[in-house]
């Protein structure tokens, strides 16, 4: 990184070019992060700060008969010990409207600490606040809890059976949520659609019926969760929280703690060591930290341990799909029927409640395929696990696996190449509305697909595969696709989360020509500081180092619903661009007035290389001259034009927008061991106009690695009593650098017509195609054995066992 690129404070008098959008500009964040100058939650301290530690349940389902905190209260340095029974009378409990979706479901009542019983292994029962963190940990260990164990239900199908142990006694059964996604709004319309789908299945040339199961896995950001709260009688609550949604947290904290909202400020630390969705919910722990800070009148901090993180959050996927796909003899898919089951855990989680992930996964199941006739139904069950929490490829990861694997099975029955069947069924005309009502705004799916198959060399591979098989080698190729959310429109987010979807940004120009950009969402390493600076630099014709991006402080940023659903590249980027363009128009109007250019319009001016240029007469002023004149010398302004250069803009797409991604991989399986090696992994992306190719490539690389890790290595395991057996990295394995291939990232996109710069958000759904691509490749390699991968994780021991079983059948 050059000196000029690492500086964010010095005005660059001679920008090298104004074409910043589309350039691989080194990330502005990286200098502080790579030199140890980042500031994470654990780096933030306050005078007199105390430390909070939780005592968590050792049972997955049990009545709490007694909690004895007397020994803990007497330990050195202990300031307070609190239980759920005490807390219930001090603050409000869940659910609260701001964090409850506008969807009909069973929403449990709960508090930050368990009351009469625990519902999963690791649920917090009590908390200790002490002067020193180690004193708090020692005190938490001596809290004694008397339990009466209850029957445990861990399988979502069994949880839905009549007579299953109830996770929440206030409900008649364990069905948290159920919905039919296709056919219409009325029961009559849905019944008629179901009959149509059944008829198409009955008359199809080929039908595949298969169960696919995706295990419970998730994301493991380098930095766990945490909160630091301070209370002042005059100013109110200041909370630093590792969150993707500081503005939502602020409203929810105000409601839960009965504090006037104007007295609550939430700051997401500028640096967060990854989020990936898991820091988007409104969790119980920060509520208690804030409450205890107010109660004790001193700062209180909690930093989650890795064991807590793996036990209590970071868990997603966990779905079953019983899917049927009907097709004609030419490979045209005529109908899809899916009966999906999701495992919500105990469902006690603000905003997402454990069921919104399977909900969106079912809505997105048709993916990028033209499937006008579908019958898709979902049931979500309570179980004695922690609540399902968001992860990248929110809910869609299992659905992508099920449908794209089923398409390969259809191709196999028809004797066609799966790539041909896949291409034949891709959506060709956009805009398009899926059978589940999801709107796809624009793009060119075939162009993106053809780029992938050409890049990976499909035709040459098939020849190589035939040759390898003669040599006793088993190589395979697999594909999968993902039509993913590019931001989340209010039309989707309001019913889904009871929150708006618009993007917002404030742009403030300084008299010296530097620019401040404020956004209310809270990034976790995606490169917002760089990408948004490049957009403002492009608009104003100045250098990105003359722009500073501020994020995640509710007192200085416009309201934002959070860093979710790939909003930055679509919604937030668009808001920044719009705000800059409004300010450019103002600067142009004032410059035209000063120069007495009576017929000039803002379109007659361009901002380039640090100058504002009147194109009609090649008249120039520097950007700094104009900003100083408007802010510091607001005399003789045009009529109706005020001083200052501050602008807040909101961006909302009329309809939901998407991005599109195609994945292809080549693998080789060792038939003697079941081990397989990823020889090649290629993606083809439609991200519209790419703001920074370097950052986008990093997003894709990281997403594929996450998908590989989820598919092959990671798995949350519980014993028969619901004990979490994978609460450390010794037992919960994640992929290492040695386990993953180099990912070749290619682009074949078209600009989005609905955003000012043609950009699309990309990062959210990218892991989604990975499991099907890998499952398809392994199945393709092992076709001589007739093996098909139908459940995850995809492990060598499973593959070996399947090969042995196939050999036995052949021998018999």
Q: Where are the domains of the chain?
A: 42-150+224-272+279-312, 316-489+655-811, 502-651
Phi, psi of 380 (to 5 degrees): -125, 130
SS3 452: helix
Whether the Cβ atoms of residue 534 and residue 546 lie closer than 8 Å to each other:
no
Residue 10 reports pLDDT greater than 50: no
Phi then psi dihedrals of residue 575, to 5 deg: -65, -40
431: number of Cβ within 10 Å: 14
pLDDT band at 812 (very low <50, low <70, confident <90, very high): confident
SS3 of residue 796 by DSSP? helix
Chain mean pLDDT for the chain: 95
pLDDT in tens, 175-188: 999 999 999 999 99
Residue 17 pLDDT: 55
Query: What pLDDT is stored for residue 655 in this prediction?
Result: 82
For the stretch 371-418, pLDDT in tens is 999 999 999 999 999 999 999 999 999 999 999 999 999 999 999 999
pLDDT of residue 11: 34
pLDDT in tens, 29-46: 999 999 999 999 999 999
CB 370 within 8 A of CB 408: no
Measured in residues, the chain has a length of 812
Residue 447: CA atoms inside 13 Å, Cβ hemisphere, count? 13
Region of residue 735 (phi > 0: left; psi between -120 and 50: alpha; otherwise: beta): beta
656-683 mean pLDDT: 96
Helix axes 770-781, 693-708, angle to 10 degrees: 60
The yes-or-no verdict on residue 583 having pLDDT over 80 is yes
Per-residue pLDDT for 7 more than 60? no
Q: Any alpha helices (H) in 617-661, and if so which ranges?
A: 623-632
Helix axes 445-456, 418-425, angle to 10 degrees: 160
Provide the phi-psi class of 37: left if phi over 0, else alpha when psi is between -120 and 50, else beta.
alpha
pLDDT in tens, 627-648: 999 999 999 999 999 999 999 9
Token representation of residue 369: 């395929």
* Cα–Cα distances in angstroms (integers) from residue 763 to residues 26, 47, 491, in the given order: 18, 38, 21
The pLDDT value given to residue 3: 29
pLDDT band at 101 (very low <50, low <70, confident <90, very high): very high
What pTM, to 2 d.p., does this model score? 0.94
Mean pLDDT of 481-504: 90
Residue 14 pLDDT grade (very low, low, confident, very high; cuts 50, 70, 90): very low
What long-range pairs does 780-783 form, CB within 8 A, spacing at least 24? 780/408, 780/418, 780/476, 780/477, 780/478, 781/474, 781/475, 781/476, 781/667, 781/668, 781/669, 781/676, 782/474, 782/476, 782/669, 782/671, 783/412, 783/476
Per-residue confidence band for 491, with pLDDT thresholds at 50, 70 and 90? confident
Gap between the Cα atoms of 388 and 280, Å rounded: 12
Can you say whether residue 804 is alpha, beta or left, with left for phi > 0 and alpha for psi between -120 and 50 degrees? alpha
Mean pLDDT along residues 521-543:
95
Nearest in space to 563 (alpha carbons), one of 287, 276, 250: 276
Q: Is the pLDDT of residue 8 over 80?
A: no
Average pLDDT rounded to a whole number, residues 76-97: 96
Helix (H) or strand (E) holding 649: strand 646-651
Percent of the chain, pLDDT > 90?
Answer: 93
pLDDT category of residue 749 using cuts at 50, 70 and 90 = confident
pLDDT score at 473: 97
Number of Cβ atoms within 10 Å of the Cβ of 616: 13
Report pLDDT digits (tens) over 310-324.
999 989 999 999 999
Q: Does domain 502-651 have CATH number 3.30.365.10?
A: yes
Q: How is domain 42-150+224-272+279-312 classified at the architecture level of CATH?
A: Alpha-Beta Complex (3.90)
Q: What is the pLDDT of residues 191-201, one digit of tens each?
A: 999 999 999 99
Same fold, 316-489+655-811 and 502-651: yes
pLDDT of 18 > 80? The answer is no
Class of domain 316-489+655-811: alpha beta
Write out the E strands in 486-546. 503-509, 515-519
Adjacent-strand bridge partners of 412: none
pLDDT value at 5 more than 70:
no
Q: Where are the alpha helices (DSSP H) in 299-395?
A: 306-312, 356-363
In 181-283, where do the E strands start and end?
A: 206-218, 226-232, 236-241, 264-267
- HEC readout, 45-97: CCCCCEEEEEEECCCCCEEEEEEECHHHHCCCCEEEEEEHHHHCCCCCCECCH
């Amino acid at each position: 990184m050059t000196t000029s690129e690492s500086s964010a404070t010095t005005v660059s008098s001679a920008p090298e070019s104004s074409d910043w959008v589309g350039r691989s500009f080194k990330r502005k964040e990286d200098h502080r992060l790579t030199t140890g100058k980042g500031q994470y939650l654990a780096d933030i301290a306050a005078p007199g700060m105390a430390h909070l530690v939780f005592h968590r349940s050792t049972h997955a389902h049990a009545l709490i008969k007694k909690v004895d905190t007397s020994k803990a209260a007497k330990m050195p340095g202990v300031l307070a010990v609190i239980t759920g029974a005490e807390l219930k009378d001090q603050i409000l409990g869940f659910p609260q409207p701001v964090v409850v979706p506008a969807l009909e479901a069973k929403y449990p009542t709960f508090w930050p600490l368990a009351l009469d019983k625990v519902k999963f292994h690791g649920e917090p029962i009590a908390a200790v606040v002490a002067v020193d963190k180690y004193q708090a940990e020692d005190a938490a260990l001596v809290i004694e809890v008397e339990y009466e164990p209850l029957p445990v239900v861990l399988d979502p199908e069994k949880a839905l059976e009549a007579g299953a142990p109830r996770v929440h006694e206030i409900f008649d059964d364990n069905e948290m949520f159920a919905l039919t996604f296709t056919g219409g709004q009325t029961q009559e319309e849905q019944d008629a659609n179901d009959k149509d789908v059944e008829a198409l299945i009955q008359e199809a040339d080929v039908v595949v019926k298969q169960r696919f199961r995706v295990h419970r896995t998730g994301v493991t950001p380098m930095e766990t969760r945490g909160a630091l709260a301070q209370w002042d009688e005059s100013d109110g609550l200041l909370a630093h929280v590792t969150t993707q949604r500081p503005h939502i947290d602020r409203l929810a904290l105000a409601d839960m703690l009965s504090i006037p909202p104007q007295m609550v400020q939430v700051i997401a630390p500028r640096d967060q060591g990854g989020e990936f969705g898991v820091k988007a919910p409104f969790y119980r722990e920060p509520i208690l930290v804030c409450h205890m800070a107010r109660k004790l009148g001193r700062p209180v901090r909690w930093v989650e341990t890795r064991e807590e993180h793996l036990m209590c959050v970071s868990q997603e996927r966990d779905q079953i799909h019983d899917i049927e796909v009907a097709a004609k003899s030419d490979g045209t898919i005529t109908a899809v029927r899916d009966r999906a089951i999701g495992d919500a855990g105990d469902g006690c989680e603000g905003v997402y409640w454990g069921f919104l992930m399977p909900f969106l996964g079912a809505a997105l199941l048709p993916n990028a395929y033209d499937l006008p006739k579908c019958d898709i139904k979902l049931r979500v069950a309570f179980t004695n696990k922690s609540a399902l929490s968001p992860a990248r490829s929110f809910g869609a990861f299992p659905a992508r696996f099920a449908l794209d694997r089923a398409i390969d099975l259809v191709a196999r029955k028809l004797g066609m190449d799966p790539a041909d069947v896949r291409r034949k069924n891709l959506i060709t005309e956009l805009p398009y509305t899926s059978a589940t009502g999801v709107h796809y705004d624009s793009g060119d799916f075939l162009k993106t697909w053809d780029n992938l198959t050409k890049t990976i060399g499909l035709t040459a591979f098939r020849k190589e595969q035939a040759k390898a098989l003669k040599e006793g080698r088993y190589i395979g190729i697999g594909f999968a696709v993902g039509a993913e959310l590019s931001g989340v429109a209010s039309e989707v987010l309001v019913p889904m989360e009871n929150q708006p979807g618009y993007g917002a940004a404030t742009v403030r120009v300084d008299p010296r020509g530097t620019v401040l950009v404020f956004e209310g969402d809270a990034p976790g390493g995606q490169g917002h500081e760089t990408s948004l600076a490049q957009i403002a630099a492009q608009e104003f014709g100045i250098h990105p180092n003359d722009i500073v991006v501020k994020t995640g402080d509710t007192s200085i940023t416009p309201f934002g619903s959070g860093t979710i659903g790939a909003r930055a590249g679509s919604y937030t980027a668009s808001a920044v661009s719009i705000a800059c363009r409004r300010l450019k128009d103002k600067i142009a109007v004032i410059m035209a007035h000063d120069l007495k250019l009576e017929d000039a319009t803002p379109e007659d001016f361009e901002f380039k290389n640090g100058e504002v240029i009147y194109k009609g007469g090649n008249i120039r002023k520097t950007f700094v001259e104009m900003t100083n004149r408007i802010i510091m010398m607001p005399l003789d302004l045009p009529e109706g034009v005020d001083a200052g250069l501050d602008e807040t803009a909101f961006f909302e797409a009329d309809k939901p927008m998407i991005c599109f991604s195609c994945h292809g991989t080549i693998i080789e399986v060792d038939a003697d061991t079941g081990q397989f090696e990823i020889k090649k992994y290629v993606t083809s992306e439609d991200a519209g106009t790419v703001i920074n190719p370097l950052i986008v490539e990093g997003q894709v690389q990281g997403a594929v690695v996450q998908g590989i890790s989820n598919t092959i290595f990671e798995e949350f395991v519980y014993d028969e009593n619901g004990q979490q057996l994978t609460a450390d990295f010794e037992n919960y394995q994640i992929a290492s650098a040695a386990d993953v291939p180099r990912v070749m990232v290619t682009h074949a996109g078209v600009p989005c017509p609905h955003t000012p710069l043609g950009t699309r958000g990309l990062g959210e759904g990218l892991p989604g195609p990975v499991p099907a691509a890998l499952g398809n490749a392994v199945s393709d390699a092992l076709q001589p054995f007739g093996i098909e991968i139908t459940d995850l994780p995809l492990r060598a021991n499973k593959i070996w066992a399947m090969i042995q079983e196939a050999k036995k059948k052949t021998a018999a």
